[in-house]
Amino acid sequence: MKNHYITLGIERNAQQPQIKEAYHKLALKWHPDKNTNCRAQAITQFQEINEAYNTLSQSESKKKYDHKLEKHDHSQKLKYFLEKIEEMNEEFTYLSKDDQDTLNKFINRINNQSKRIRKH
């Protein structure tokens, strides 16, 4: 998922004046007419900047985007957590069969919760 805040170089708690200022600064910098030597890259950057600004400059679309971004971040953190648990599980070869089963059940429960969160 694209992070429009990173695209504009602003914090997540940025207010409308900061969003607008960042947009204008980057739009001038990456306008394709000003970047004839690297026009293809400038067009791509300019489009991403416009997309970010169009999303973040309108309060309703910003609110929806923030919610999606929060869910995405949470999902990424869960995914990382699960990967670490699985790595640990592989390292715990000295666990009894019952302990390994318990750990695997725990991992499966977290996986299922993660899937439910992603659906919402």
The dihedral over CA atoms of 50, 53, 56, 61, expressed in degrees to the nearest 10, equals -40
- Give the pLDDT score at 90: 73
pLDDT of 14 strictly over 80? yes
pTM beyond 0.85: no
Kindly report, residue by residue over 65-75, the tens digit of the pLDDT.
999 999 999 88
For the chain, which residues make up each domain, given as ranges?
1-57, 66-120
Q: In Å, how far from its chain's centre is CA 48?
A: 15
Which has more pLDDT, 115 or 98? 98
CATH number for 1-57 (one of 3.40.50.2300, 1.10.287.110, 3.40.50.620, 1.10.630.10): it is: 1.10.287.110
* Tens-place pLDDT, residues 18-52: 999 999 999 999 999 999 999 999 999 999 999 99
